[in-house]
Structure formats: C-alpha cells, structure tokens
Structure 1
Amino acid sequence: MTATDPALTALSSGWGALSLLHSRIEAHVERALQSGHGLSAREYSLLDVLSRQHDGDGGHLQMKQVADAVVLSQSATTRLVTRMEDRGLLSRYLCPTDRRGIYTNVTAAGLELLREARPTNDIALRQALDEAAGNPELASLVAAVEAVETSAQSA
C-alpha cells in the first residue's frame, strides 16, 4: 500500500468521521453536564465506571484501572481523582493486601451526583446523536452506535 492508496484514503476518511462524531458528542455532553451539575464528561465517566464495580459499597478500582477507564495518563488521573476527592465524590485508600496499591472508591455523594446527572447525560447523548445523524458523513457511524445500544439491550 502506498500513501495515495484508495484504501488508506478511505481509512483516513473513516477515522476523521469517527473523530468528528466523538468530538461533537463529547462537547455536547460536556456542556450539558457542566451547566446542569458542575461535572465534566470525564468526571461523569469515572463516577459511572466506579458505580458499576461490585466489590464494595460504591465499587472501587486501582489507580491504573481508573486511568485505563477514563483514558488518561497516570498523572492526569491522579489530578482528576484528587479534584473529585476534594469535592467528596471519591475516596482513596491503600489496598489491605498490598500496601503499594491504591484504590479509588465512589462515595455516597458521588453516587447521588451520578444519579442526578445520568438523565442529563443520556438526553445530551441522544440529542448529539440525533443531530449527527442528519450529517451524511456521520449517519452510518450513528447507526453503528445505535446498533451497539440495541444489541446490549437485547443481551
């Protein structure tokens, strides 16, 4: 394959469309969560991921797992968790079996904020997808996202 190969050009166009869809959705959801709940999309995502863990009251993850879940570097993850801990949304504690391990846990206040913000997130996501579906360049990607949603609901 060469740099001017049509397959590479199509692949690049597809990646550009996916990136555009992601950016539009994230910006729309970010505005809605910030204005309605003072919460960033990454903060919401972290609360959501932690709430789905089943090993404890609010669920917990090791810091590396947190970084992987919110797609941030270790240092950016530490800053995010510290900000959220300062707000009383998360707590950190040492692993009881390995003192080098640090876990992050969602607090009751974090779970409550997530409960309040979830409808805002869902509505903003639906609005962003509906808007993107009207763009011919993005419509097939929106259909793919919706197919995943439908598949998950039927499982």
Structure 2
Amino acid sequence: MAANDPALTALAQGWCALSLLHGRIEAHIERALQSGHGLSAREFSLLDVLSRQHDGTGGHLQMKQVADAVVLSQSATTRLVARLEDRGLLTRYICDTDRRGIYTDVTDAGRQLLAAARPTNDGALREALDEAAGNPELAPLVRAVEGVETVPARSAGTG
C-alpha cells in the first residue's frame, strides 16, 4: 500500500510517508558509514551520544538513558557497547560511588573514528534529504526536518 493510497487516512498517509523518509535516510547513511568507516548507523549514533557526556557528577549516562537516546532496548544497547568495546572504541568501568553502576566512555580511537565519520554522516544525511525533497510525498517532511531548530540538550534525568 503506497502512502498516497486513498484507502489510508490522512494520519496513516503521513505516518507512511514519515516511515518511508526515515528508512531512506537511514539506509543511505548506513551505506556511507559502512563503506567509509566500517561503522553502522547505530554504532555511529552510540559513539556520538557517549561522546557528548561530560565529566563530573551526573555527567555519565545510565545504560537506560543511552538506550533511549539511540532508540534500542537496553539489552541491544549492551550488546552494541560490548561490540564497540571489543573494537577498542569504548571502555567500561564501575562507578566509584555506586558499585552497581557501569559507565561507558569513548576511547581516543573511538573519538578519532567518530571525528572522521561525522562529515560522512552529515553528507549522507544531506544527500538523502536532497533526494527525498524531489518526491512530492516526502518534500513537506524534508522541509519540516530542515526547519527544526536545535534545542539545548537537557541534563540527564530531566524530563
């Protein structure tokens, strides 16, 4: 069923178009990151989220916060962290104040790979949006994405 099928409600049509746009963007970014840097889009996203942590009290994200940020289950996030740790891109260690807590930090190698991959990610995103803008069904969504203003990041634990 195409997004412009008259049997779909307007809301369902919008959802189908959004899903189509997301899928196209993600596939385009995935190909670019894999071929250029040996990273999946999820791996890039995880490195990016973790690289934005700051030192000090409350600076490290809990695994649930990381999972929410990369839109994965906690178990899938843990497996992803383990794979990146095996590649030397992340390191994990026990929290000094709460022995149950495990922190994850990006290593120097991870930061270097992230820095090298960021232009690839951004370029692939731009290419995918430009391509989608030529589709009348997706063009309004592309304009909406391009019009989103960045909001300052909220500190962990605020909602």
Indicate the TM-score class for this superposition, using the shorter chain for normalisation.
0.7 to 0.9
TM-score, length of structure 1 as denominator length: 0.87
More helix by share: 1
Range with greater deviation from structure 2 (98-107 or 77-86): 98-107
Q: Tell me the equivalent position of 2:116.
A: 116
* Identical amino acids, percent of aligned pairs: 83
Report which stretch shifted further, 60-69 or 86-95.
60-69
Q: Where does structure 1 lack aligned partners over 5 or more consecutive residues?
A: 1-5
1:152 aligns with 2:144: no
Q: Which moved more, 1:127-136 or 1:96-105?
A: 96-105
Give CA-to-partner distance per residue, 1:2-61, whole Å, 9 cap, x none: xxxx9x8111110111011000000000000000000000000111111111226xx742
Map 1:83-102; keep pairs closer than 5 Å.
83-102=83-102
**Off by >4 Å, runs of 4+ in structure 1:** none
- 1:29 is matched with which residue? 29
Report the count of equivalent residues. Answer: 143
Answer whether contact 1:44 1:114 (CA < 8 A) is retained: yes
Counting only pairs closer than 5 Å after superposition, residues 62-77 of structure 1 correspond to structure 2 as 62-77=62-77
Q: CA deviation at 1:102?
A: 1.1
Question: Taking structure 2 as the reference length, what is the TM-score of the superposition?
Answer: 0.85
Distance, in Å, in 1 between the alignment partners of 2:43 and 2:102 is 19
